[in-house]
């Protein structure tokens, strides 16, 4: 096992142009679940506008790390800073305000079955931000239009395809105007023919400057958009770098792992 302090790094880290501190910084995150060490002293950061991807074998801690960044799961050790503000320092009563600034996209959509697409997008604006209904619905329509679903606004989740449901969940997260988006294998529950429409929305978010941290094995679709890939194994980040450097000669742990995925799926 490669120690966290000896993580293999490829290429230089990207520095915010204005010299500002990272938008998000996770420091020394450690998590034990069921007596097993899931995350082992992990640190990572994102500058504003960066798009980073976490990859690695199943059980390496990728999803748990996202949950700790969002503070859905409280780390046993370490802290998360958003624009320099400590999540732990906010206290239990105020942690919901911290979470409102971070969007989270899950594998299984998490839509309300009894609400239409536009109501699924607008409900948090009305209930959490206390926006009036007309303003919230206008914002919902704006975000649904951005993901190509304005004409589906009055449909219920049962009337939508898996790809459409995931695009509604992305619109819902973006309606809250988050500073950071976390995406946990957003295409893993989709049929192959539906994956592209979701990846296209994510690529557009990246091009628009959205700061994102995504767990995925779909590296090929946006290698030109990704600033950094972090390879996780046994609860640690053992390798990190930009795609060009990591795939340069095919010998990095990341390149070998992705080549095996390509052999299994027939695509990257």
- How far is the first Cα of the chain from the last one, in angstroms, to the nearest whole number? 27
In the sheet that holds 236-241, the strands lie side by side as 8-10, 236-241, 228-233, 51-55, 212-215, 180-184, 102-105
Predicted confidence at residue 248, as pLDDT, reads 87
Q: Domain 1-28+48-101+178-216+226-254 adopts which CATH fold?
A: Rossmann fold (3.40.50)
Residue ranges for the chain with pLDDT beneath 50: 1-5, 267-268
Question: Strands 85-86 and 180-184: what pairing?
Answer: unpaired
Other Cβ atoms closer than 10 A to 219: 20
Q: Which two tokens stand for residue 90?
A: 């906010």
Rounded to 5 degrees, what are φ and ψ at 7? -55, 135
- Where in the chain is CATH 3.40.50.300? 1-28+48-101+178-216+226-254
8 A C-beta contact, residue 216 and residue 265: no
Give pLDDT tens digits for 71-87. 999 999 999 999 999 99
Other Cβ atoms closer than 10 A to 126: 16
Predicted confidence at residue 57, as pLDDT, reads 92
DSSP code for 20: P
Give pLDDT tens digits for 150-171. 999 999 999 999 999 999 999 9
Predicted confidence at residue 19, as pLDDT, reads 67
Predicted confidence at residue 237, as pLDDT, reads 96
Q: Which two tokens stand for residue 9?
A: 């790094």
8 A C-beta contact, residue 208 and residue 170: no
Exposure on the CB side of residue 177, measured as CA atoms within 13 A? 6
- DSSP letters for 133-174: HHHHHHHHHHHHHHTT-GGGTT--GGGS-HHHHHHHHHHHHH
Predicted confidence at residue 15, as pLDDT, reads 53
Give pLDDT tens digits for 199-227. 999 999 999 999 999 999 888 877 888 99
Separation between Cα atoms, residue 212 and residue 52, nearest integer Å: 6
Helix (H) or strand (E) holding 176: none
């Amino acid at each position: 096992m490669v120690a966290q302090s000896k993580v293999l790094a490829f290429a230089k880290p990207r520095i915010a142009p204005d010299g500002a501190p990272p938008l998000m910084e996770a420091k020394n995150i450690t998590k034990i679940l069921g007596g097993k060490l899931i995350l082992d002293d992990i640190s990572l950061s994102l500058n504003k506008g960066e798009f980073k991807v976490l990859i690695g074998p199943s059980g390496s801690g990728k999803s748990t790390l996202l949950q700790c960044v969002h503070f859905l799961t409280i780390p046993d050790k370490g802290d998360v800073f958003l624009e320099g503000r400590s999540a732990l320092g906010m206290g239990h009563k105020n942690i919901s305000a911290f979470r409102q600034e971070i969007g989270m996209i899950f594998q299984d959509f998490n839509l309300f079955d009894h609400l239409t697409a536009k109501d699924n997008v607008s409900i948090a604006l009305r209930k959490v931000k206390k926006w009036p209904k007309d303003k919230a619905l206008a914002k919902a329509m704006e975000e649904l239009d951005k993901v190509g679903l304005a004409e589906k606004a009055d449909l219920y989740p049962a009337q939508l395809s898996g790809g459409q449901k995931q695009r509604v969940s992305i619109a819902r997260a973006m309606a809250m105007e988050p500073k950071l988006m976390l995406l946990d294998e957003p295409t893993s529950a989709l049929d192959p023919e539906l994956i592209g429409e979701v990846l296209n929305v994510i690529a557009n978010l990246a091009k628009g400057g959205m700061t994102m941290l995504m767990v995925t094995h779909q590296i090929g679709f946006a290698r030109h958009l990704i600033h950094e890939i972090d390879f996780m194994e046994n609860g640690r980040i053992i390798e990190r770098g930009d795609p060009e450097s990591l795939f340069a000669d095919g010998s990095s742990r990341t390149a070998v792992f992705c080549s095996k995925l390509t052999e299994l799926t027939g695509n990257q």
